A and B are shown apart, each in its own frame.
Chain A
Amino acid sequence: MPPYPPPSHRLSRALLAVAIAAAFGLAVAVVLLTGIDDALLRAGADLTTRIRHAWPG
């Protein structure tokens, strides 16, 4: 019995890996290009600022 994977599976797995990498890359690009990361950072900074201001000291 030859070892796994057979050549046709290697090709299909490579195709799947490329598709997954492309999807992740696309997701990162969308996050960066639409500014979602900046918005999240700003929201985090605002939250800490509000909590700090609420601190009585």
Chain B
Amino acid sequence: MPFILAVLAALAAITAYLWLCAYAVVHLSVPGMLIGAAAGVPIGLAVALVVAFLKLFGPQDDYVLRPADVAERRFPLLRVPPGVAPDTAWPSYFAAQVALDLRAVAAQLGRWVFTVLAGAGKAIRHGGWTGALFWPLLLPVVALLAGFAAGAAAGLLAIVAVSLAVTAAAWLAGLVTAAALRTADRAASVLRRSAGNCPRCYEVSRRPAYQCRRCGSLHRDLRPGLLGVVHRRCGCGAQLPTTVTRAGRSSVLAAVCPLCGAALHPGAGAATDVRVPVFGAPSAGKTHLVTAAVVGLLRGHDSVRLADAHSKRAYAEFTAIVDGGGSAAKTDAARQPIAVTLRVGQGRREALVHLYDAAGEALDDPRRNEAFQYLDAARTLVFVLDPFAVPEIRGQFAARFADLFTAANVSPGPPEPSYQATVTRLQRYSVPTARKRLAVVVSKRDLLQQLPGTSALAGTPADIRGWLVEQGMDNLVTAAERDFGAVAYFFVSALDPAAAAAPFRWLLAAEPITLPAPQTALRAR
């Protein structure tokens, strides 16, 4: 009987407990859960917002794509040809870092939510069985936590959605701006005929590489792109321009050859670049022509300056020769020619004019002249013709005027093979000579005029051409006018710098360069 009473009492107690629980669920838990969930969601949203602000405005070093990572090819969006080291620069924020920042926000928010839920779970477990008996009272707390977690997740989703929208807008604006800047930069380059011209390997680059003067790191592709649209930030923190036009005027960047790394002239890549190779037979008078022409172009003209130390040293020698009446040393055929470079004009209208004077022996040798890549990239060329080497003149006067021929240091062979050697080399390399201009310069005027019957050469360009034809150079004249787009004839003396500069003025007249003196073209086909 007592056992039955005990069972009945227990059943009554359990029934009363369940009834109380049900009553509590209906009157306390359900409203409490609704209130808890309603409070938890905005709290979660607010926490997500706070975490996003902390990460976006505060330090965030967990997930960062640094310039060193870019250099180590950890930025897959950046396409760099194999074998070329990527530039060491900060990627644009919306190109990579925005995703990493979102990852940092998600990780931080996850940590916070987990901490709150784990803390709540620990507190509930701490209550033990006594606490478990009051489970209906815990339901609002659980709802609050669930609302908090759901709010945080919704907040994160909203942050990701807004970031995606802003990133898409930034990409669109960046693509349009980059395309516009690239087009403008390329157009300026085409109009100015600018390029980077390497004095060491003769590489002519449309876009030179640039070295940061602050840290020395190399930027091979400075164009607007993933590493910066309007500006880029070097790994050292220096702000760099993203177009060749602006890089040419930057004090932070130094242009270097993308092929061999040699330093280019300041402004290279942005300034008009003109290469003028001078070719002809050995002892034709090429060096004397360049000597006198450089002196003629520089003297009395402030807007024409020497561009580098080599050119300054060469000019000092040139003035000594011109003013002292001496002879230039024979060009060393074993050495690669280094250009004498003139800087013409100022600011945006600046130009670099490179005059190349290679030894005739090297130019005539097909195995050696193939290294003269500057010939390929030249739009303008000068062919120097020694009139004393013309077979007709040599046969007619060499015996009678032996002293004069000795003083003229006559070229050993006739002019035509030298012309053919260089032009054949150009054509072998598929260089479109028909688009180039050629100045044919008959040299040693002061000496030639001492021969009888040469007075016509002091006249018009037509006379010079006619005289060449009369002297049996008709094949050369025909070949030159067939091979080149424009040909002009000049008759110069190294003793007259102003006249020696005339062929170069004619050649440069077709370039976007403003020379201080008027051109003196004699004849253009």
- A–B pairs, 9, beta carbons within 8 Å: A1-B67, A4-B66, A5-B60, A13-B57, A16-B56, A21-B49, A24-B45, A48-B34, A55-B26
Residue of B nearest to A17 (CB): B56
**Smallest beta-carbon distance A41→chain B, Å:** 8
Question: Does A48 lie within 8 Å of B30, measured CB to CB?
Answer: yes
> Restricting to B406-439, which residues have a CB under 8 Å from any CB of A?
none
| Candidate in A1, A6, A19, A23 with the most chain B CB atoms within 10 angstroms | A6
| Candidate in A9, A19, A21, A48 with the most chain B CB atoms within 10 angstroms | A9
> Restricting to A1-57, which residues have a CB under 8 Å from any CB of B?
1-2, 4-9, 12-17, 19-21, 23-24, 27, 40-41, 44, 47-48, 51-52, 55, 57
A-side residues, CB < 8 A to B, are 1-2, 4-9, 12-17, 19-21, 23-24, 27, 40-41, 44, 47-48, 51-52, 55, 57
Inside 8 A of A24's CB, which chain B residues have their CB? 45, 49, 155, 158
Inside 8 A of A16's CB, which chain B residues have their CB? 56, 98, 101, 162-163, 166
Q: How far is the CA of A51 from the CA of B398 in the complex (A)?
A: 129
Question: Does B162 lie within 8 Å of A13, measured CB to CB?
Answer: no
Q: A13-B56, A13-B101, A44-B38 are in contact. Are A8 and B90 (CB under 8 A)?
A: yes
A-B complex: 10 closest residue pairs judged by Cβ atoms: A12-B93, A2-B237, A44-B34, A17-B56, A23-B162, A13-B56, A9-B93, A6-B233, A4-B64, A55-B26
| Candidate in A16, A23, A40 with the most chain B CB atoms within 10 angstroms | A16
Q: How far is the CA of A47 from the CA of B159 in the complex (A)?
A: 32
Question: Does A20 lie within 8 Å of B26, measured CB to CB?
Answer: no
Q: How far is the CA of A23 from the CA of B154 in the complex (A)?
A: 13
Q: How far is the CA of A18 from the CA of B362 in the complex (A)?
A: 68
**Smallest beta-carbon distance A21→chain B, Å:** 7
**Smallest beta-carbon distance B150→chain A, Å:** 14
Question: Does A6 lie within 8 Å of B34, measured CB to CB?
Answer: no
Contact-size category for B = 35 or more
Question: Does B30 lie within 8 Å of A1, measured CB to CB?
Answer: no
Inside 8 A of B52's CB, which chain A residues have their CB? 17, 20
Residue of A nearest to B101 (CB): A13
Residue of A nearest to B236 (CB): A2
Q: How far is the CA of A47 from the CA of B33 in the complex (A)?
A: 12
Q: How far is the CA of A8 from the CA of B239 in the complex (A)?
A: 10
**Smallest beta-carbon distance B151→chain A, Å:** 12
Question: Does B166 lie within 8 Å of A17, measured CB to CB?
Answer: no
Inside 8 A of A47's CB, which chain B residues have their CB? 30, 34
Inside 8 A of B228's CB, which chain A residues have their CB? 8
Q: How far is the CA of A41 from the CA of B235 in the complex (A)?
A: 55
Question: Does A12 lie within 8 Å of B26, measured CB to CB?
Answer: no
Inside 8 A of A23's CB, which chain B residues have their CB? 158, 161-162
Question: Does B162 lie within 8 Å of A9, measured CB to CB?
Answer: no
Question: Does A20 lie within 8 Å of B163, measured CB to CB?
Answer: yes
Contact string against A for B residues 28-59, beta-carbon threshold 8 Å, 1 for contact and 0 otherwise: 00110011001000000100010011001101
Q: A24-B45, A24-B158, A27-B158 are in contact. Are A12 and B38 (CB under 8 A)?
A: no
Q: How far is the CA of A1 from the CA of B64 in the complex (A)?
A: 13
Inside 8 A of A15's CB, which chain B residues have their CB? 166
Question: Does A48 lie within 8 Å of B31, measured CB to CB?
Answer: yes
Q: How far is the CA of A14 from the CA of B101 in the complex (A)?
A: 12
Residue of B nearest to A48 (CB): B31
Q: How far is the CA of A6 from the CA of B101 in the complex (A)?
A: 14
Inside 8 A of B186's CB, which chain A residues have their CB? none
> Is B205 an interface residue when CB atoms closer than 8 A count as contact?
no
Residue of B nearest to A13 (CB): B56
| Candidate in A15, A20, A41 with the most chain B CB atoms within 10 angstroms | A20
**Smallest beta-carbon distance B94→chain A, Å:** 6
Q: How far is the CA of A13 from the CA of B92 in the complex (A)?
A: 11
Q: How far is the CA of A48 from the CA of B37 in the complex (A)?
A: 14
Question: Does A12 lie within 8 Å of B64, measured CB to CB?
Answer: no
Residue from the list B26, B49, B155, B235 in contact with A52, Cβ < 8 A = B26
> Is B170 an interface residue when CB atoms closer than 8 A count as contact?
yes
Question: Does A20 lie within 8 Å of B159, measured CB to CB?
Answer: yes
| Candidate in A40, A41, A51 with the most chain B CB atoms within 10 angstroms | A51
Question: Does B23 lie within 8 Å of A8, measured CB to CB?
Answer: no
Q: A40-B38, A44-B38 are in contact. Are A1 and B93 (CB under 8 A)?
A: no
Residue from the list B26, B45, B67 in contact with A51, Cβ < 8 A = B26
Question: Does B98 lie within 8 Å of A6, measured CB to CB?
Answer: no
Q: How far is the CA of A30 from the CA of B136 in the complex (A)?
A: 35
Q: A16-B98, A40-B38 are in contact. Are A4 and B57 (CB under 8 A)?
A: no
Question: Does B23 lie within 8 Å of A13, measured CB to CB?
Answer: no
Contact string against A for B residues 264-284, beta-carbon threshold 8 Å, 1 for contact and 0 otherwise: 000000000000000000000
Question: Does B34 lie within 8 Å of A20, measured CB to CB?
Answer: no
